[in-house]
Amino acid sequence: MKKLFLIGLLSMLVSVKVAEAAAPDEGMWLPMFVERLNYVDMQKMGLKLTAEELYSINNSSIKDAIVSLGGFCTAELVSPEGLLLTNHHCGYSAIQTHSSVEHDYLTDGFWAMKKSEELPNEGLTVTFLHHMEDMTQKILSVVNDDMTEDERSEAIKKEIDKYTKEAEQDGKYVVELKSFFNGNEYYMFVYEEYKDVRLVGAPPSSIGKFGGDTDNWMWPRHTGDFAMFRIYTAPDGSPAEYSEDNIPFKSKHFLPISIKGYKENDFAMIWGFPGTTDRYRTSSAVSATLNEINPAIVKMLRAMLDVQDEEMAKSDKVRIQYASNNASLANFWKNKLGETRDLKRLNVVEKKRQSEKELEKWINADPARKAKYGTVLSDFNEIYSKYTEQNIFPLLWNTQLVFFGSQAFTLPSMSKGIETILKTGVKGEALQKEMQSYREKAEAIFKDYDNTIERRVLVTALEIFRDKIPTNQHPDIYKVINSKFKGDIVKFVDYIFEKSPFLTYDNFNKFLDKPSEKAIKKDLAVEMYNSFVMNFMSVQGGAKELATKNRTTQRLYLAALREMYPDKSFYPDANSTLRMTYGKVISYYPADAVHYDYYTTIEGVMAKENPSDPDFVVPERLKQLYYKKDFGQYAENGTLPVCFLTDNDITGGNSGSPVLDGDGNLIGIAFDGNWEAMSGNILFEPELQRTINVDARYVLWVIDKYAGAKNIMDELTIVK
């Protein structure tokens, strides 16, 4: 009896302990609410900064060191002179743009040894959050329950435009006013944008992309995934387009870099710009993702990648041309492959159904709730079964994938603009002046365009589309392919690549010399483009009612959920706005009886070396430093740390984000998620989900010992 009681007590204690230890470090929190919602918890976990030092409107704070890089990644200031750290994969497209067979910075890396060598990047911007504001009451004051969903959207859009315009102050700020919690709340983000951002340094891909697409999305990892940029301003410190007269940005706040290291369970927080999550997606929507959307993505992208991979291996020129495009397709493909598997493996649909059942019980327990939310869940089921019946998702997704992976639609999409110019009747020199902008656009497009790849990718895309989508839902171009080319897609594609003005550099330039409406009208590449667009729009138009109803339902669903748990702090889904996530350094069990430690070292780089696999080449210089054990002040236990794990809640867009210790020092840069929790954008898995970070000591070692970039080291503040 006594023994039983003891066991009971013990297991109770154990379960309490487990519950505490497993407190999920889930959540991407809004900076302005950190003090109210998270601060106390963060202090308990090891944060030593004040709330004001994290986010302040009046004084410099952590938020002033964090920028959105081009809207797709995060970067952070690490020097008083505007020096930024981010990921190698975030700088990849810029590095590629500066690369050629003669100067292959992708392969060899790039280091500006003085500021005058830093490379400008047209179109690349960074934005700082100036402040954010809760606009919920203002925005929602113009809507009421009698409005239709369309009236509601219209009214809200008008308000958003009004407040945005006001806050922009005639171009002083870039403003985003966005919906949060599916239209239940609205926040305004006021940003300062800088347009002169230069490349300062990047390791060779054999460090910055070590492991390549083989290791991508996986732990244990050995990638030095970092690159450096610098922000420049006009001489008076204001944002400006690139100019030789510009000067380095004066940082309001920058992050010291700690080489003290960390232990398991140490506090870690990440600030950055996560792109999209869908944590409140319902079971019916997850089913559609699993059965209809992801399979389409995986199938189409893999086939396109196979073509690219094969052709890229044949020529250095083509390898460089397609490096960035290929890496992002491959990244997306592997993400969706893993997401599909984990949605199944982790029973996400079933887990969602369970929580929907709870919600249903809660709704049905009260007549007022029933009146307000009674049909929410059945509405979802109805909406999604109609989507399925009409084959909407495969159709829309396959169309987008064709556009996404094939560049054969890019120039045809510009034919309308040329046609409009021709219709005005301009001739001779005036016409040639108008065509000049198209010549320039073409230079940019064809710089990274290979006829063989594009021809083969188009064949692949058109064939998969034809096989996956029922005939009655095909764009009209398939009728032409059937009648004029006996259904032979290869013949059709060969024909348009030979004849169309819009698919090859030579034909396009010839056309621009003598542009004619007639050539556009009879062109089959243009017809192909138009027919895909028309088809897409008519499907979208047909599904508009469903989409509208879905919006209403999603808003109500989230309102109900939050009403059901009044004491719970909810965080909004990621939407490319600045967020903070906090947690700890921590290992995990990827499978039964398998344990993964929380850090990797250079020993693992050497163990993975394989000179005959491009993903695992180790640079000669790295090996020499390794054999000499020349790790300097960056070593721990006689070796060099490379990557580590935290349980922070991040997603794409967070790439390049700083990992900060309790004192606000940078200890690493976040760059990936892990293979066992690929469904994390839909359901956070506290036991499995990890953030993969490159260790600040590895980054510094590469800059200092490998590259010998003393100029960069001199700018940094190192905490020992």
Reported as type and span, the H/E element at residue 233 is: strand 227-233
Q: For helices 489-499 and 477-485, what crossing angle results, to 10°?
A: 100
Return the number of the residue (515 or 680) whose C-beta is nearest ligand ARG.
Answer: 680
Active site residue 655: yes
Tokens found for residue 492: 């059709």
Distance CA 511, CA 422 (A): 13
CB of 348 to ligand ARG, least distance (A): 20
CB of 439 to ligand ARG, least distance (A): 33
Of 208-216, 273-281, 345-353, 570-578, the window that binds ligand ARG (rule: CB under 6 A) is 208-216
Return the number of the residue (209 or 705) whose C-beta is nearest ligand ARG.
Answer: 209
Q: In Å, how far are 375, 419, 422, 520, 522 from 425, measured between CA atoms?
A: 58, 10, 5, 15, 19
Return the number of the residue (184 or 655) whose C-beta is nearest ligand ARG.
Answer: 655
Q: How many CB atoms lie within 10 A of CB 239?
A: 22
**Residue of 225, 647, 672, 704 marked active site:** 225
Reported as type and span, the H/E element at residue 264 is: none
CB of 449 to ligand ARG, least distance (A): 21
| Site size toward ligand ARG, by CB under 6 A | 12
The residue within the footprint of ligand ARG, chosen from 93, 216, 399, 531 (CB under 6 A), is: 216
Of 54-62, 162-170, 209-217, 339-347, the window that binds ligand ARG (rule: CB under 6 A) is 209-217
Return the number of the residue (459 or 618) whose C-beta is nearest ligand ARG.
Answer: 618
The residue within the footprint of ligand ARG, chosen from 67, 106, 330, 659 (CB under 6 A), is: 330
Return the number of the residue (330 or 660) whose C-beta is nearest ligand ARG.
Answer: 330
CB of 689 to ligand ARG, least distance (A): 14
Q: Does 336 bind ligand ARG (CB under 6 A)?
A: no
CB of 322 to ligand ARG, least distance (A): 13
Return the number of the residue (53 or 615) whose C-beta is nearest ligand ARG.
Answer: 615
**Best CA proximity match to 277, nearest among 584, 557, 684, 604:** 684
For 113-180, the DSSP string reads SSGGGPEE-TT--EEEEEEEEE-HHHHHTT--TTS-HHHHHHHHHHHHHHHHHHHHTTTTSEEEEEEE
Distance CA 401, CA 300 (A): 7
Tokens found for residue 194: 């800088």
Of 210-218, 529-537, 625-633, 678-686, the window that binds ligand ARG (rule: CB under 6 A) is 210-218
CB of 296 to ligand ARG, least distance (A): 20
- For residue 482, the SS3 value is helix
CB of 517 to ligand ARG, least distance (A): 43
* Largest distance between two CA atoms of the chain: 103
Of 111-119, 192-200, 206-214, 403-411, the window that binds ligand ARG (rule: CB under 6 A) is 206-214
Q: In Å, how far are 49, 117, 255 from 663, measured between CA atoms?
A: 6, 34, 10
In the window 339-358, what residues touch ligand ARG (CB under 6 A)?
A: none
Distance CA 670, CA 674 (A): 12
Active site residue 287: no
CB of 301 to ligand ARG, least distance (A): 13
Q: In Å, how far are 371, 381, 543, 556 from 375, measured between CA atoms?
A: 8, 10, 20, 10
CB of 331 to ligand ARG, least distance (A): 4
User: To the nearest 10°, the Cα dihedral for 650, 655, 659, 665?
Assistant: -150
Return the number of the residue (91 or 394) whose C-beta is nearest ligand ARG.
Answer: 91
Pairing mode of beta strands 73-77, 196-202:
unpaired
In the window 295-314, what residues touch ligand ARG (CB under 6 A)?
A: none
Reported as type and span, the H/E element at residue 90 is: helix 88-97
Of 4-12, 324-332, 518-526, 594-602, the window that binds ligand ARG (rule: CB under 6 A) is 324-332
Of 178-186, 205-213, 440-448, 678-686, the window that binds ligand ARG (rule: CB under 6 A) is 205-213
Return the number of the residue (332 or 384) whose C-beta is nearest ligand ARG.
Answer: 332
Tokens found for residue 18: 């487990």
Active site residue 89: yes
The residue within the footprint of ligand ARG, chosen from 35, 192, 213, 630 (CB under 6 A), is: 213
Tokens found for residue 301: 């992208």
The residue within the footprint of ligand ARG, chosen from 29, 67, 89, 393 (CB under 6 A), is: 89
CB of 359 to ligand ARG, least distance (A): 32
Q: In Å, how far are 135, 144, 185, 553 from 141, measured between CA atoms?
A: 10, 8, 12, 20
Return the number of the residue (212 or 614) whose C-beta is nearest ligand ARG.
Answer: 212
CB of 667 to ligand ARG, least distance (A): 19
Of 327-335, 563-571, 616-624, 659-667, the window that binds ligand ARG (rule: CB under 6 A) is 327-335
Distance CA 210, CA 712 (A): 23
Return the number of the residue (53 or 213) whose C-beta is nearest ligand ARG.
Answer: 213
Question: Beta-strand (E) ranges in 615-714?
Answer: 641-646, 658-660, 666-673, 691-695
CB of 324 to ligand ARG, least distance (A): 10
Whether residue 690 contacts residue 356, with contact meaning beta carbons closer than 8 Å, is answered with: no
Distance CA 376, CA 620 (A): 61
Site string for ligand ARG, 626-655 (x = CB under 6 A): --------------------------x--x
For 428-458, the DSSP string reads HHHHHHHHHHHHHHHHHHHHT--HHHHHHHH
In the window 532-571, what residues touch ligand ARG (CB under 6 A)?
A: none
Angle subtended at Cα 133 by Cα 268 and Cα 581, rounded to the nearest 5 degrees: 15
Site of tokens 């999409």: 413
**Residue of 56, 324, 655, 657 marked active site:** 655
Tokens found for residue 685: 């898995």
Return the number of the residue (211 or 394) whose C-beta is nearest ligand ARG.
Answer: 211
CB of 92 to ligand ARG, least distance (A): 8
Return the number of the residue (217 or 684) whose C-beta is nearest ligand ARG.
Answer: 217
Pairing mode of beta strands 83-86, 73-77:
antiparallel
Of 112-120, 194-202, 212-220, 230-238, the window that binds ligand ARG (rule: CB under 6 A) is 212-220
Whether residue 692 contacts residue 671, with contact meaning beta carbons closer than 8 Å, is answered with: yes
The residue within the footprint of ligand ARG, chosen from 93, 121, 233, 331 (CB under 6 A), is: 331
Return the number of the residue (29 or 217) whose C-beta is nearest ligand ARG.
Answer: 217
**Residue of 88, 89, 222, 253 marked active site:** 89
Reported as type and span, the H/E element at residue 708 is: none
Q: Does 209 bind ligand ARG (CB under 6 A)?
A: yes
Q: Does 217 bind ligand ARG (CB under 6 A)?
A: yes
Of 93-101, 178-186, 325-333, 391-399, the window that binds ligand ARG (rule: CB under 6 A) is 325-333
Q: In Å, how far are 63, 106, 129, 269, 572 from 51, measured between CA atoms?
A: 11, 41, 17, 13, 20
Site string for ligand ARG, 669-698 (x = CB under 6 A): ---x--------------------------
Catalytic residue positions, numbered: 89, 225, 655
Residues that bind ligand ARG (CB under 6 A): 89, 209, 212-213, 216-217, 327, 330-331, 652, 655, 672
